[in-house]
């Protein structure tokens, strides 16, 4: 581990180039105890940011500082190798050693720091037990489920008591069901970790649920910083607008009904109970000039806040009782006379409302 303070703020100015081609030019500042999500599409520069922070590649200019320690500064010739940076890293494909048992995989970082085999294995078992891996401790990674492999990678990152946690698409290799379950577990471990935490993701649901602040990255640059709510209300780019229109919010489920800030939604998932993440696709929201026929269970009247035309589609933001973004054709927008301040009826089929458990106390 890098000598210096036990924990401290990450301050990074990353300028990375490949020949004459531009790859990355971003700034990050993450205080201890805070989780930042670096959210962007494939090819935006997220993996390059991981490599630069972890010390797998040097920055061409800029500086990486963790607490009082400079980890990379080409101007002064400082470059701290990965194993001495004090960063716990969980890579997208986990990078577990296939010939080693689970306990030896977790103990690897400790052995690499000079700890004896028995002491390293003893400390590794502490995290193995904590993450519910005791039954597979002596198994090889090839026999593990995706969820178990993810826990092993997390245990390996945490066992060295790192000063910062860096997670590169930590749940992307999992199936949808496992991902939803482990999202809750990961939220608990992130909350318990005292240092700065950076999560790389292309999934807005993960960024919404697991981070305190979102940094949107596009084409190697940060285009917007803020909370999920701030980005939803004031997107600055078309990519951010797409995220803003994804209609993600937290509610409380019981017997097929979700209470979303006092507004009740009927869903097709009666088995969910407790705090949930609700997702509604903008195109799944129907708009009507009058109360829809048949009185669908999820229908209400609201005021239009904004209308944004994007080619042949139009995004329509509606306000209380449940602020949402709908998407219709421009022809439909003209026919419905959609404009800010106008009243409109909103309807959503129960089957179009996605529900999954949100992170919370176990």
147-169: pLDDT as tens digits: 788 888 888 888 888 999 999 88
pLDDT reported for residue 237: 80
Residues of the chain with pLDDT under 70: 1-7, 19-20, 22, 173, 175-178, 180-181, 232-233, 244-245, 295, 358-362
Residues contacting residue 57 through CB under 8 Å, at least 6 positions apart: 16, 48, 51
Query: What is the residue whose two structure tokens read 């869903």?
Result: 267
Structure tokens at 150: 């993810």
Q: What is the 3-class SS of the chain, one letter each residue?
A: CCCCCCCCCEEEEEEEEECCEEEEEEEEEECCCCEEEEECCCCCCHHHHHHHHHCCCCCCEEEEEECCEEEEECCCCEECCHHHCCEEEECCCCCCCCCCCHHHHHHHHHHHCCCCHHHHHHHHHHHHHHCCCHHHCCCCHHHCCHHHHHHHHHHHHHCCCCCEEEEECCCCCCCHHHHHHHHHHHHHHHHHCCCCEEEEECCHHHHHHHCCEEEEEECCEEEEEECHHHHHHCCCCHHHHHHHCCCEEEEEEECCEEEECCEEEECCCCCCCEEEEEEECHHHCEEECCCCCCCCCCEEEEEEEEEEEECCEEEEEECCCCCEEEEEEHHHHHHCCCCCCCEEEEECCHHHEEEEECCCCC
The Cα–Cα gap between 214 and 266 comes to: 30
Which has the closest alpha carbon to 111: 102, 120, 124? 120
pLDDT reported for residue 1: 36
pLDDT reported for residue 279: 81
pLDDT reported for residue 285: 93
Query: What are the Cα distances from residue 90, in Å, to 29, 76, 151, 348?
Result: 20, 29, 10, 39
- Burial environment of residue 315 by CB neighbours within 10 A (0 to 12, 13 to 18, 19 or more): buried
> What is the pTM (predicted TM-score) of this model?
0.70
């Amino acid at each position: 581990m890098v000598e210096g303070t036990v924990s401290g703020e990450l301050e990074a100015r990353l300028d990375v180039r490949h020949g004459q081609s531009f790859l990355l030019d971003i700034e990050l500042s993450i205080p201890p105890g805070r989780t930042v999500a670096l959210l962007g599409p494939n090819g935006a520069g997220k993996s390059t940011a991981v490599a630069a922070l972890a010390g797998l590649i040097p920055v061409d200019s800029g500086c990486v500082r963790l607490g009082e320690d400079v980890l990379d500064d080409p101007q002064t010739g400082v470059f701290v190798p990965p194993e001495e940076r004090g960063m716990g890293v969980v890579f997208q494909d986990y990078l577990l050693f296939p010939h080693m048992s689970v306990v030896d995989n977790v103990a690897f970082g400790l052995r690499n720091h000079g700890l004896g085999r028995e002491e390293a294995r003893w400390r590794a078992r502490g995290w193995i037990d904590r993450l519910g891996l005791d039954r597979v401790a002596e198994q090889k990674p090839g026999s593990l489920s995706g969820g178990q492999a993810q826990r092993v990678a997390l245990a390996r990152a945490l066992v060295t008591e790192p000063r910062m946690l860096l997670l590169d698409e930590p749940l992307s290799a999992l199936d949808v069901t496992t991902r939803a379950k482990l999202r809750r577990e990961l939220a608990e471990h992130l909350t318990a970790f005292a240092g700065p935490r950076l999560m790389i993701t292309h999934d807005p649901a993960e960024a919404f649920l697991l981070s305190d602040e979102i940094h949107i990255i596009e084409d190697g640059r940060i285009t917007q910083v803020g909370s999920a709510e701030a980005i939803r209300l004031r997107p600055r780019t078309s990519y951010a607008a797409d995220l803003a229109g994804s209609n993600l919010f937290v509610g409380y489920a019981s017997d097929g009904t979700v209470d979303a800030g006092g507004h009740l939604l009927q869903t097709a998932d009666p088995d969910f109970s407790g705090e949930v993440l609700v997702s509604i696709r903008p195109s799944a929201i129907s708009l009507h000039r009058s109360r829809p026929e048949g009185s669908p269970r999820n229908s209400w009247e609201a005021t239009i806040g904004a209308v944004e035309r994007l080619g042949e589609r139009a995004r329509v933001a509606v306000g209380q009782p449940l602020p949402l973004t709908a998407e219709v054709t421009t022809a439909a927008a003209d026919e419905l006379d959609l404009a800010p301040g106008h009243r409109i009826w909103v309807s959503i089929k129960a089957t179009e409302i996605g529900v999954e458990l949100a992170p919370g106390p176990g």
